[in-house]
């Protein structure tokens, strides 16, 4: 809300970090009071990291009220790669009774999970490292797709192909 006796205008602005030294105005000075409503729209598409939002409410007697809130913006997807097996690697079912899928996944803020799909079928999901899943080989050509997701809903995926020969 931005209202009160003697209300003149309000402004919504942002700054990078916990204690910004520079502020960027998000809305022009608005002269209509707002009660339990939308104060402005902030496009965060190209932003990432910690920001501070500041609401300034100005009154006709030159008094200014300030409200501040910190927000974390996460627009970067996790990084994910399959470390084992290698793309296009071949295995002999006589030699390998188990193949352990090894994945490396990281996120700049908070990784939620790594999901494994073999030939389009989910074979498991892991929430914290080490990101490994053992699998009993089945002869044939296979595709392993791995999807890493962060807590903000961003995700990325990668896939490899491998063959198990009889």
Nearest to 79 by CA among 55, 103, 61: 103
* CA distances from residue 108 to 3, 7, 34, 40 in whole angstroms, order as listed: 38, 42, 36, 28
Q: What is the per-residue pLDDT for 93?
A: 84
75 Cβ contact list (under 8 Å, min separation 6): 44, 45, 46, 47, 48, 152, 154
Q: What is the per-residue pLDDT for 7?
A: 97
Tens-of-pLDDT digits for all 166 residues of the chain? 999 999 999 999 999 999 999 999 999 999 999 999 999 999 999 999 999 999 999 999 999 999 999 999 999 999 999 999 999 999 998 888 999 999 999 999 989 999 999 999 999 999 999 999 999 999 999 999 999 999 999 999 999 999 999 8
44 Cβ contact list (under 8 Å, min separation 6): 73, 75
pTM score, whole prediction: 0.79
Rg, C-alpha atoms of the chain: 25
Q: What is the per-residue pLDDT for 44?
A: 95
Q: What is the per-residue pLDDT for 63?
A: 97
Q: What is the per-residue pLDDT for 103?
A: 98
């Amino acid at each position: 809300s931005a209202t009160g006796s003697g209300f003149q205008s309000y402004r919504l602005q942002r700054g990078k970090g916990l204690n910004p030294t520079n502020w960027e105005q998000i809305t022009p000075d608005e002269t209509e009071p707002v009660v339990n409503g939308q104060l402005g729209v902030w496009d965060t598409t190209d932003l990432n990291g910690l920001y501070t939002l500041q609401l300034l409410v100005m009154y006709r007697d030159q008094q200014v009220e300030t409200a501040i809130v910190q927000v974390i913006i996460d627009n970067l997807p996790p990084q994910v790669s399959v470390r084992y097996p290698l793309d296009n690697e071949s295995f002999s079912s006589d030699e390998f009774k188990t193949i352990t899928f090894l994945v490396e996944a990281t996120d700049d803020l908070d990784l939620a999970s790594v999901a494994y799909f073999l030939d389009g079928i989910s074979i498991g999901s892991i929430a914290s490292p080490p990101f490994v899943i053992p699998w009993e080989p089945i002869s044939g050509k296979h595709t392993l797709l791995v999807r890493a997701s962060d807590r903000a809903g961003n995700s990325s995926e990668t896939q490899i192909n491998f063959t198990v020969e009889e």
